[in-house]
Amino acid sequence: MVGFPVGATSIITLTTDFGVADSYVGAMKGVILTIAPGTAIVDISHTVPPQNIAAGAYVLSGAAPYFPAGTVHVAVVDPGVGTARKAIAVETDRSFLVGPDNGLLCPALQAMGALEGGTGRLFGARAVELTRDAYFRSPVSATFHGRDIFAPVAAHLVRSVPLGELGRPIDCLECPAAPTLTQGGDAVRGEIVYVDHFGNTITNLPEGLLPADPIVEAGARTIRGLSSSYRSGPLVALVGSSGFLEIAMQDGNAAAELGLRVGDQVIVRSST
Amino acid sequence: MVGFPVGATSIITLTTDFGVADSYVGAMKGVILTIAPGTAIVDISHTVPPQNIAAGAYVLSGAAPYFPAGTVHVAVVDPGVGTARKAIAVETDRSFLVGPDNGLLCPALQAMGALEGGTGRLFGARAVELTRDAYFRSPVSATFHGRDIFAPVAAHLVRSVPLGELGRPIDCLECPAAPTLTQGGDAVRGEIVYVDHFGNTITNLPEGLLPADPIVEAGARTIRGLSSSYRSGPLVALVGSSGFLEIAMQDGNAAAELGLRVGDQVIVRSST
Amino acid sequence: MVGFPVGATSIITLTTDFGVADSYVGAMKGVILTIAPGTAIVDISHTVPPQNIAAGAYVLSGAAPYFPAGTVHVAVVDPGVGTARKAIAVETDRSFLVGPDNGLLCPALQAMGALEGGTGRLFGARAVELTRDAYFRSPVSATFHGRDIFAPVAAHLVRSVPLGELGRPIDCLECPAAPTLTQGGDAVRGEIVYVDHFGNTITNLPEGLLPADPIVEAGARTIRGLSSSYRSGPLVALVGSSGFLEIAMQDGNAAAELGLRVGDQVIVRSST
């Protein structure tokens, strides 16, 4: 399964809801650099809304596919820390993911083609429950597995410890049902899955399902036609950089001004 | 023109309005590290106010001059992404700058002595419009040139691709008029060009134009004399770390408490 | 005193109240990378509340002990910049700390066992007042010693300049009185020393002083028993990842909902 030189690039990315004010992220980095000196640590985001697993999963899935082979992605949005939820590590054909088994890793694995959508079943990848405490900090605190389990495990993976050494194999991850996406009659129905920093509302409607000249309904608003840039009009629908339908406002915050939120339905019809 | 060992230090800095919550910055870093492994990526700021080109330009100009020779500075505050605005790269005698041709790079180039103030004309530097899509990600999205054009171009510059390979030469950048700065009668008149995190209001009045014992008028307030530190009084005027007149409050936020904003006039008279 | 290979890992950490929006942190990084190319710069936090020395000291002390030997920690929360407060550097048996002598470095040094609590007296460590301006940027601004003194000194330490070269030895640091912690009658009394990003309120009551089955009083609330995770109940008292008593709310912000603030008293009694 391993087709890349493990450890060649030595990159660990971090995606958490720890915020940037406290010492938590710094402590994780110190642990990593102690075990694996020279590792390049890349922050993806630490301002995932507290305990919002879906938002963290979305952010990770939007960045992880762009990293080079061998990268280890650590994600910690972990409201269940210290409970029975599993700690896991996954190896795909090009990278590793480490975090709690609470759905956080699923969209990134799906984006990498390593998970059957919605089922949690791995596809050309393998996973372990992290049970070998020789690879943890000692003692393990009940509340900070980021520092005591996930950071040290990631550092050991960078140092080429084989996945199988880290725990017992598991076949299936805990993944939530995917957001609703249906086709029927003259319409495709999806939902808003993320609102970004600019207030752009991003849906789960992929470019391939959109008609050539669509009418987009979101909240109380109807938008005619697809734009090619954010400056094509005051309110625009367009295919964003991840390949999905977005609704955006030129010089404004579409989510705030239209009252749109994650989970709201978006309907696309053909105008012809 | 190239007097430094290109690629010797392999630093890329990033200045954007992408925020730190989403996947956008992480995706850019993944693209850079895939093309140019080992590059040190330094975040200057990702919290430039959305689409505020002048603020982004100010921040970049305050940090870029301190980096070592060979550094590649990428800046993306780009409301016109996907429209006719040009994507450009500039090479000065000690560094590279990459971004949209919307004024974002002008103050940094001026701070480096590579641009004639206000004209957009380069001075001992050269620039290209980025037209060679062999150096872009493919396909290029209409909305995320940071990931698809600017990050890969910067990574190729770090890998010593010559500037001339990247596109067609241009002579002149699109630069806005400089903030007003006039001398006349008994006064020097400038304006507030930036408000920082502490609420310090920074003007375009350079130390060299200030009289020895000035009277500073800003908003409804008058401040007598220049202080040497932020703790010299409740409300102080002083020459800040970038060499320009600032107005600050000890233990307070001068901009908020005095109602001062970017663009407000500041007048300095001699008290003698 | 030096038992580690100075410069072997070449890590500099940064803890400041400069925020992440402005150019200040970027300028410090540029200065460091110019003097000490290849240094790994790790951000601990730049969003310490402006001029809140105690909060900055707490954050630094929570991260610094996890870094490898030889790390140089730079901290700048410095309301007295430009006044008579000293600029200092400290060398412990495993790392360096650089910053203003205003109490900011004390808790980290105490956490590393290099300071006698509350006295400011070093213990198996040594310190200098930074007086050798050959190791500063020139000229030194009155308002930005982070860029002009602390960053260059840290970079010179990474390059193995001996501490004694940097200034004149000092015996004692300016450290504030420690937060109140008293035992008497049937109770242990401490106080809240930090509120984190999740709203968890962290006290100075160490695990070792807590009775087996405690009753915790904070604000108007009483909590019975210690929990082992954040999900054991709606309002929990538990020993956090730093080994001290915390009060937290499942899926909520304990500090905001209970009106708890830094300095508030927390009393622990035995229920038996």
| Percent of chain B residues topping a pLDDT of 70 | 97
Indicate yes or no: CB of C79 within 8 angstroms of CB of B230.
Answer: yes
pLDDT value of residue A156: 98
Indicate yes or no: CB of A141 within 8 angstroms of CB of C240.
Answer: yes
Residues found in chain C: 272
Nearest partner of A151 among A162, A161, A136, judged by Cα: A136
Best of A22, A145, A148 to disrupt the C interface (most C CBs within 10 Å) is A22
Indicate yes or no: CB of C45 within 8 angstroms of CB of A22.
Answer: yes
Best of B9, B48, B67 to disrupt the C interface (most C CBs within 10 Å) is B67
Indicate yes or no: CB of C229 within 8 angstroms of CB of A31.
Answer: no
A184 min Cα distance to partner chain B (Å): 29
Of residues A182 and C6, the one with the higher pLDDT is A182
Nearest to B44 among C26, C50, C147 (CB): C26
pLDDT value of residue B1: 31
Integer Cα distance of A269 and B94 in angstroms: 54
Parts of chain B with a pLDDT under 70: 1-9
Preceding omega of C68 cis (within 30 degrees of 0): no
Q: List chain B residues with CB under 8 Å of C21.
A: 45, 47-48, 59, 196-197
pLDDT value of residue B151: 98
pLDDT value of residue B252: 87
Q: List chain A residues with CB under 8 Å of B21.
A: 45, 47-48, 59, 196-197
- Neighbouring chains of C at 3+ CB pairs within 8 Å? A, B
Q: List chain B residues with CB under 8 Å of C16.
A: none
pLDDT value of residue B8: 44
pLDDT value of residue C184: 87
**Chain A contact for B49 (CB, 8 A cutoff):** no
Residue A4 has pLDDT above 70, yes or no: no
Indicate yes or no: CB of C20 within 8 angstroms of CB of A20.
Answer: yes
Indicate yes or no: CB of B40 within 8 angstroms of CB of C51.
Answer: no
Integer Cα distance of B255 and B261 in angstroms: 7
Q: List chain B residues with CB under 8 Å of C34.
A: 66-68
pLDDT value of residue C234: 87
Nearest to A143 among C44, C197, C229 (CB): C229
- Neighbouring chains of A at 3+ CB pairs within 8 Å? B, C
Integer Cα distance of A61 and A105 in angstroms: 8
pLDDT value of residue B9: 53
Residues with Cβ within 8 Å of residue B46, at least 6 apart in sequence: B14, B15, B16, B17, B18, B19, B20, B25, C20
Indicate yes or no: CB of A141 within 8 angstroms of CB of C241.
Answer: yes
B81 min Cα distance to partner chain A (Å): 7
Residues found in chain A: 272
SS (H, E, C) B173-219: CCCCCCCCCEEECCEEEEEEEEECCCCCEEEEEEHHHCCCCEEEEEC
**Chain B contact for A208 (CB, 8 A cutoff):** no
Residue B26's CB is within 10 A of a number of other CB atoms, namely 27
pLDDT tens track for A102-160: 999 999 999 999 998 778 999 999 999 999 999 999 999 989 999 999 999 999 999 99
Residue A236 has pLDDT above 90, yes or no: yes
- Neighbouring chains of B at 3+ CB pairs within 8 Å? A, C
Integer Cα distance of C79 and C167 in angstroms: 22
Q: List chain C residues with CB under 8 Å of A80.
A: 229, 231
Closest C-chain CA to A36: C68
pLDDT tens track for B120-160: 999 999 999 999 999 999 999 989 999 999 999 999 999 99
Integer Cα distance of A210 and A237 in angstroms: 11
Indicate yes or no: CB of C148 within 8 angstroms of CB of B241.
Answer: yes
Q: Which of residues 170-199 of B touch C (CB under 8 A)?
A: 196-198
Pair of tokens at residue B37: 């492994």
Each residue's pLDDT tens digit in chain C (272 positions)? 333 443 345 999 999 999 999 999 999 999 999 999 999 999 999 999 999 999 999 999 999 999 999 999 999 999 988 888 999 999 999 999 999 999 999 999 999 999 987 789 999 999 999 999 999 999 999 899 999 999 999 999 999 999 999 999 999 999 998 889 999 888 999 999 999 999 999 999 999 999 989 999 998 899 999 998 888 878 999 999 989 999 999 888 999 999 999 999 999 999 87
Query: Do C227 and C245 form a contact (C-beta atoms < 8 A)?
Result: no
Integer Cα distance of A57 and B42 in angstroms: 25
pLDDT value of residue C185: 84
State mean pLDDT over A8-19.
Answer: 89
> HSE-up of A233 (CA within 13 Å, CB side)?
11
Q: Interior CA angle at A149 toward A144 and A151, to 5°?
A: 95
Under 8 Å CB pairs connecting chains A and C tally to 106
pLDDT tens track for A91-117: 999 999 999 999 999 999 999 999 987
**Chain C contact for B61 (CB, 8 A cutoff):** yes
Q: What is the DSSP string of chain A?
A: ---S-TTSS-EEEEEESS-SSSSHHHHHHHHHHHHSTTPEEEEEES-SPTT-HHHHHHHHHHHGGGSPTT-EEEEE--TTTTSSPPEEEEE-SS-EEEEESSSTTHHHHHHTT-B-TTT-BBSS-EEEEE--GGGS-SSPPSS-HIIIIIHHHHHHHHTT--GGGGEEEESB---PPPPP-EEETTEEEEEEEEE-TT--EEEEEEGGGS-SSEEEEETTEEEES-BSSTTSSSEEEEE-TTSEEEEEETTB-HHHHHT--TT-EEEEEE--
Strand C87-91 and strand C96-100: the pairing is antiparallel
Check the CA dihedral B198-B204-B208-B213 and report its sign: negative
pLDDT value of residue C212: 87
Residue A83 has pLDDT above 90, yes or no: no
Provide the residue type at A219 as one letter.
G
**Chain A contact for B143 (CB, 8 A cutoff):** yes
Residues with Cβ within 8 Å of residue A16, at least 6 apart in sequence: A24, A25, A45, A46, A48, A56, A75, A76, A77, A146
Residue A93's CB is within 10 A of a number of other CB atoms, namely 14
Q: List chain C residues with CB under 8 Å of B231.
A: 79-80, 82-83
C263, burial (CB in 10 Å: exposed 0-12, middle 13-18, buried 19+)? exposed
pLDDT value of residue B272: 74
Indicate yes or no: CB of B50 within 8 angstroms of CB of A228.
Answer: no
**Chain B contact for A262 (CB, 8 A cutoff):** no
Pair of tokens at residue C20: 């992440």
Pair of tokens at residue B148: 């698809």
Best of A197, A247, A253 to disrupt the B interface (most B CBs within 10 Å) is A197
Q: What is the DSSP string of chain C?
A: ---S-TTSS-EEEEEESS-SSSSHHHHHHHHHHHHSTTPEEEEEES-SPTT-HHHHHHHHHHHGGGSPTT-EEEEE--TTTTSSPPEEEEE-SS-EEEEESSSTTHHHHHHTT-B-TTT-BBSS-EEEEE--GGGS-SSPPSS-HIIIIIHHHHHHHHTT--GGGGEEEESB---PPPPP-EEETTEEEEEEEEE-TT--EEEEEEGGGS-SSEEEEETTEEEES-BSSTTSSSEEEEE-TTSEEEEEETTB-HHHHHT--TT-EEEEEE--
